[in-house]
Amino acid sequence: MTRFSRRVAGIEVSGIRKWFEGAGAGAINLGLGQPDLDTPAHIKAAACRAIGEGRTGYTPNGGIPELQEAIAAKSRRENNLEYGPGQVIVTAGASEALHLAMQALVDDGDRVLVADPGFVSYAALALIAGGRPEGLPLDERFHLDIEAAKERMDGAKVLVLNSPANPTGAVEPADSVRALAEYADDAGVTIVSDEVYEHFVYDGARMTSPGRFAGNVVTVNATSKTYAMTGWRLGWLAGPDEVVAQAVKVHQYCQACATSISQYAALEALNGPQDCVRAMRDEYAARRTLLCDGLSALGIDVPRPEGAFYLFPPMDDDLVRRIIAAGVTIVPGEAFGPAGAGHARIAYSASRDDLVTALERIGGIIND
């Protein structure tokens, strides 16, 4: 009989993927954070050029040097982060970057602090690394309870910060980010900052990188959401030299390098025109209004998110399952941690037509 490792056998299948892959024919997918928008044409053209020029072999482990430089320049320009090119590892999406960070930082039994509710990968990756994930409480607007987080930091190894947040859409205020970063620095806790939704913020909210305020921060980002490049699997990890030196060893053995073609596409994405990003943000803002107003009209209380492209309204299990049965795929909130129970995550990364149809189906349930 095959015996499996305890660290893998002990984790659950992703709650997001379980509902997405189990959706029936004709279901409208509001469960997966998958932009329905196409990768911009100039980025696809750069990938085609790379193929035509034969840039299809292995690259250096850290990525092609010009992309490392572009990521460092972007970090300085947009986030006020002073990373050099050698402090960047280009990865197979933000997912691999998070995995590298956990593997480099976490030992057996180390405490890893994650928001509850929070993105499903954080606790699972901590467990795979041998760590002990612990939930951090959120306030009524889904922001981290800063004082509670400080109390939990004593003896912890890692704190994962995700702003704008998945699944809640919350954007942490700059003063809260600074307080967390400075306290973590004093406490010897490394912050892993997942910033993949950084450009999707609304109503004057602003994303703040904790790496501005402390040196013990590992920044994770990707082209996936910003440029509608989820399937290109291109992300990065940036951080202190000593962290990168350890993380790249894991990267060498599990991945070797990110796909060369995707790296050249990402280079064009970062260095090319950015009006496509602004257009995507405006489109998501319009979809947010459509879905929030539509659900509110049906009597569903919807906290209006400050960022990302998710709603996280209170919703009992019976209504969640009836909505799914009616052909609208959403994710029960418990998939994101114990505190997510009694909620549901609804993505507005689908088209407006699909959102309208989804509202009609939900309305049919509620008005039945």
* Residue 203 falls in which region: left (phi positive, over 0), alpha (psi -120 to 50) or beta: left
Per-residue pLDDT at 16 exceeds 80: no
Q: How confident is the model at residue 12 (pLDDT cuts 50, 70, 90)?
A: confident
CA 45 to mean position of chain CA atoms = 26
User: Rounded mean pLDDT of 264-277?
Assistant: 98
Please, how many CA atoms are within 13 Å of residue 194, restricted to the half-sphere of its CB?
29
pLDDT digits (tens, 9 = 90+) for 163-196: 999 999 999 999 999 999 999 999 999 999 999 9
Q: Could you report the per-residue pLDDT of 55-92, keeping only the tens digit for each?
A: 999 999 999 999 999 999 999 999 999 999 999 999 99
**Site of tokens 């406490």:** 187
Distance separating alpha carbons of residues 266 and 257, to the nearest angstrom = 14
To 10 degrees, the CA torsion angle through 353, 357, 196, 48?
-40
**Six token digits for residue 313:** 């309204």
- In the numeric block, which tokens belong to residue 133? 């994930």
| Mean pLDDT value across the chain | 95
Number of neighbours of residue 283 by Cβ within 10 angstroms = 18
Question: Sorting pLDDT into bands at 50, 70 and 90, what band is 19?
Answer: low
Using DSSP, state whether 220 is helix, strand or coil. Answer: strand
Q: What is the structure's pLDDT at 181?
A: 98
**Which pLDDT value is given to residue 206?**
94
Percent of the chain at pLDDT above 70? 97
Predicted confidence at residue 204, as pLDDT, reads: 92
The mean pLDDT value for 98-126 works out to 98
pLDDT band at 10 (very low <50, low <70, confident <90, very high): confident
Residue-level pLDDT at 21: 56
Does 99 have pLDDT greater than 70?
yes
pLDDT in tens, 300-355: 989 999 999 999 999 999 999 999 999 999 999 999 999 999 999 999 999 999 99
Euclidean distance between the first and final Cα of the chain, in Å? 51
Question: For 196, how many CA atoms within 13 A lie in the half-sphere containing its CB?
Answer: 29
**All structural domains of the chain with their residue ranges:** 6-39+275-366, 41-271
Q: What is the pLDDT of residues 189-235, one digit of tens each?
A: 999 999 999 999 999 999 999 999 999 999 999 999 999 999 999 99
pLDDT of residue 20: 53
CA–CA dist 115, 165 (Å, integer): 9
| Fold of the CATH domain 41-271 | Aspartate Aminotransferase; domain 2 (3.40.640)
Task: Using alpha carbons, select from 190, 203, 194, 189 the residue that is nearest to residue 163.
Answer: 194
Give 114's strand partners.
135
- Rounded Cα distance, 221 and 213, in Å: 18
Name the fold adopted by 6-39+275-366: Aspartate Aminotransferase, domain 1 (3.90.1150)
Backbone angles phi, psi at 27, to 5 degrees: -70, 145
Of the candidates 339, 341, 367, the residue with the CA atom closest to the CA atom of residue 137: 339
3-state secondary structure of 32: coil
d(CA 307, CA 249): 34
